[in-house]
Chains A and B, each alone.
Chain A
């Protein structure tokens, strides 16, 4: 069958099972958009306000479902606007394929209008990228992009398509998508050693990360911690993998993790690290992290094994396969003394105290949980509110807590929420937490949520300042608040109205309860601005380079 490049583009997307893409049109992708117009019944295209929002939306779509997110942008500025979104996905190993148009092949390298060498720009922030110079290569290149994005450790792939390639014609034959290449192999002997270490442990601790987000690895992880009574702590990327109410779940670890988890890391005798990379926000001091423990690390990517912290036993493999092989070798066990210590630390842990004179973050988040129930999906931006959400959300399911961990991208939230809502449908409750700082970065995407009638509820923690940076300035820079107190006069309620959505402002808990209850009834998006104190802090906190001995609890 003779097809042109644009027709091939649509055919391969359909072949790969893509139903929704996010993007923004422009000169170099006019042919592609013309074909999308003709195929609107096969592929839903979501138009965002800015390409960055589209990239975050594709990312949010992928995080919410595990499927590959797809974003399309034009050449030059369209392509460069994707960069932050691609880097965000790369740092958190999110499967995504970004398509960019480019100028015609004869104009490449000549500083043509809206030309950018996006292949070069995105080399260090993609798993791989391609420029398609011949229409004959287009279909297989796109197929390779989808394969690479989903295989092994997942991540973003970029495909750059010059405009003439989208018009040129060649023979096209449809192919079934290749099965996803999972890593099924591992060293069985090492798994046995790991099981022996765990069986002999007096004070074992599981520390898991984003690598166990997939449904296949959640269950064996939960089985492991229950079978051998092993307390489990997690990184920001893995919130929700083990339910919050689970007695073995002792909370988040790291810079803003709880005292109990950080203390348990310091005191455990065997640490089982699963799908996590000992990042500098967790292993704040790689020399003293879990220094009393024999460390076992399980990761799909061998380059992560022992990269940041020296480990004693490393197992290369997919957590699901490794844990399933390990489980039968794990003895059913109880660790009463260890658990008693954990419970004691939990009693001493940081617990926020409500103050009747002001609205506090934990109250707001607690109320959201009360009204939304366990099935809601939570999305955050980056900053204090992100940490509060991670600390105080009482329930989130796996893939139900969507946040930018590795790159820490302020402005991630709204786009990601749009992606999650599009992926899961309008009946799914999606709540976005943001701060006034992060929200100012990309709140333009509100127009997208209005256009597509997405009932995203945005909870804005407005402390009038850039709170996280201000908190550091308070603690370490003698309260010299350099550029963190912008005196913005934004009226979020009026601004909401301007976008065509409903806005609320709350200064106390009853107001928030009423506003949130009303927001739940709305068909379209809503904003709830929560006025909080500018000196509200994220606690506990361990400063960078520190350990449990440096923890700040008040």
Chain B
């Protein structure tokens, strides 16, 4: 059984209408299991960045990258190095709160450095920015409270340091370095 790992993929694509439909259509058709997907503009107005969180084996991930490369709109695909990646996600959480539990809820929030951005007589809205693991942990604290509504943006990510080295290389070269196709070593019989 191949190990399944969770990974964050950066997809640089042409910034044009329908590009998200093309990418999500492909993921759906090929049966790739996506945990989260975010789309955003970049400093280059002709390029959008799609950040995808996906769990799977190396082979599945390689297929995902190879298939995505086939799209005309794809310029670059690479997997972020987990040790260097800055992953962030935003959570908005609305919980039932009244005079009796308002203080303890505020206490939970302050430990996680979550902001309270709305307060009403019967509810409270937290805003929390952090790694997905932190958000998961924060949400676990609310198992005994009544969550009214919840919204997560999904992961957006960059790597530390200067310009990402992968962005200056052809997609094929990056993929070969990250997920080599069979044949990088001479097969022995």
Asked whether B66 is an interface residue with its Cβ less than 8 Å from the other chain, the reply is: yes
Name the residue on B nearest A157 (C-beta).
B72
Q: Is the CB of B182 within 8 A of A303?
A: no
Asked whether A276 is an interface residue with its Cβ less than 8 Å from the other chain, the reply is: no
Chain B nearest Cβ from A85, distance in angstroms: 19
Name the residue on B nearest A148 (C-beta).
B72
Chain B nearest Cβ from A277, distance in angstroms: 13
Asked whether A301 is an interface residue with its Cβ less than 8 Å from the other chain, the reply is: yes
Interchain CA distance A316-B172 in the complex, whole Å: 11
Most chain A CB neighbours (cut-off 10 Å) among B59, B70, B181, B186:
B181
Name the residue on B nearest A313 (C-beta).
B183
Chain A nearest Cβ from B157, distance in angstroms: 25
Interchain CA distance A311-B67 in the complex, whole Å: 18
Instruction: List residues of chain B with CB within 8 A of the CB of A423.
Output: none
Q: Is the CB of B187 within 8 A of A313?
A: yes
Given A303-B67, A310-B182, A197 contacting B18 (CB threshold 8 A)? no
- Closest 4 pairs (CB-CB, A-B): A303-B66, A312-B187, A128-B72, A313-B183
Interface contacts beyond A128-B72, A197-B189, A302-B172: sample of 4 additional A-B pairs, CB < 8 Å, sorted by A: A197-B187, A303-B69, A312-B182, A313-B182
Asked whether B92 is an interface residue with its Cβ less than 8 Å from the other chain, the reply is: no
Interchain CA distance A127-B72 in the complex, whole Å: 8
Most chain A CB neighbours (cut-off 10 Å) among B69, B172, B183:
B183
Q: Is the CB of B18 within 8 A of A314?
A: no
Instruction: List residues of chain B with CB within 8 A of the CB of A123.
Output: 21-22, 25
Instruction: List residues of chain B with CB within 8 A of the CB of A120.
Output: 21
Given A124-B25, A124-B26, A148-B72, A305 contacting B189 (CB threshold 8 A)? no
Instruction: List residues of chain B with CB within 8 A of the CB of A409.
Output: none
Residues in B lying within 8 Å of A, measured CB to CB: 18, 21-22, 25-26, 29, 59, 63, 66-67, 69-73, 172, 175, 181-183, 186-187, 189
Interchain CA distance A270-B187 in the complex, whole Å: 11
Asked whether A459 is an interface residue with its Cβ less than 8 Å from the other chain, the reply is: no
Chain B nearest Cβ from A400, distance in angstroms: 29
Residues in A lying within 8 Å of B, measured CB to CB: 119-120, 123-124, 127-128, 148, 187, 190, 193, 196-197, 200, 269-270, 294, 301-303, 305-307, 310-316
Chain B nearest Cβ from A291, distance in angstroms: 14
Interchain CA distance A120-B20 in the complex, whole Å: 12
Instruction: List residues of chain A with CB within 8 A of the CB of B69.
Output: 302-303
Chain B nearest Cβ from A209, distance in angstroms: 18
Interchain CA distance A412-B72 in the complex, whole Å: 28
Instruction: List residues of chain B with CB within 8 A of the CB of A311.
Output: 182-183
Interchain CA distance A308-B20 in the complex, whole Å: 27
Interchain CA distance A196-B187 in the complex, whole Å: 10
Instruction: List residues of chain B with CB within 8 A of the CB of A187.
Output: 183
Q: Is the CB of B67 within 8 A of A315?
A: no
Q: Is the CB of A124 within 8 A of B29?
A: yes
Instruction: List residues of chain B with CB within 8 A of the CB of A128.
Output: 71-73
Instruction: List residues of chain B with CB within 8 A of the CB of A294.
Output: 187, 189
Q: Is the CB of A314 within 8 A of B63?
A: no
Q: Is the CB of A305 within 8 A of B72?
A: no
Instruction: List residues of chain B with CB within 8 A of the CB of A312.
Output: 182-183, 187
Instruction: List residues of chain B with CB within 8 A of the CB of A124.
Output: 25-26, 29
Q: Is the CB of B182 within 8 A of A306?
A: yes
Name the residue on A nearest B18 (C-beta).
A119
Interchain CA distance A27-B121 in the complex, whole Å: 61
Instruction: List residues of chain B with CB within 8 A of the CB of A306.
Output: 59, 181-182
Instruction: List residues of chain A with CB within 8 A of the CB of B59.
Output: 306
Interchain CA distance A315-B172 in the complex, whole Å: 13
Q: Is the CB of A314 within 8 A of B66?
A: no
Interchain CA distance A124-B186 in the complex, whole Å: 36
Name the residue on A nearest B25 (C-beta).
A123
Name the residue on A nearest B65 (C-beta).
A303
Chain B nearest Cβ from A154, distance in angstroms: 13
Interchain CA distance A315-B184 in the complex, whole Å: 10
Interchain CA distance A128-B74 in the complex, whole Å: 11
Interchain CA distance A389-B63 in the complex, whole Å: 35
Instruction: List residues of chain A with CB within 8 A of the CB of B22.
Output: 123
Interchain CA distance A180-B72 in the complex, whole Å: 16
Q: Is the CB of B25 within 8 A of A302?
A: no
Instruction: List residues of chain B with CB within 8 A of the CB of A303.
Output: 63, 66-67, 69-70
Q: Is the CB of B183 within 8 A of A193?
A: yes
Chain A nearest Cβ from B165, distance in angstroms: 21
Chain B nearest Cβ from A128, distance in angstroms: 4
Chain A nearest Cβ from B65, distance in angstroms: 9
Chain B nearest Cβ from A292, distance in angstroms: 11
Q: Is the CB of B186 within 8 A of A200?
A: no
Chain B nearest Cβ from A325, distance in angstroms: 15
Interchain CA distance A197-B188 in the complex, whole Å: 8
Q: Is the CB of B72 within 8 A of A316?
A: no
Q: Is the CB of B67 within 8 A of A269?
A: no
Q: Is the CB of A307 within 8 A of B63?
A: yes
Given A119-B18, A124-B25, A148-B72, A305 contacting B187 (CB threshold 8 A)? no
Instruction: List residues of chain A with CB within 8 A of the CB of B63.
Output: 303, 307
Chain A nearest Cβ from B169, distance in angstroms: 15
Give 8 A-B contacts (CB < 8 Å), ordered by A residue.
A120-B21, A127-B70, A128-B73, A197-B189, A305-B182, A306-B182, A311-B182, A312-B182
Instruction: List residues of chain B with CB within 8 A of the CB of A313.
Output: 182-183, 186-187
Instruction: List residues of chain A with CB within 8 A of the CB of B71.
Output: 128
Which of B70, B172, B182 touches A314 (beta carbons < 8 Å)?
B182
Instruction: List residues of chain A with CB within 8 A of the CB of B175.
Output: 302
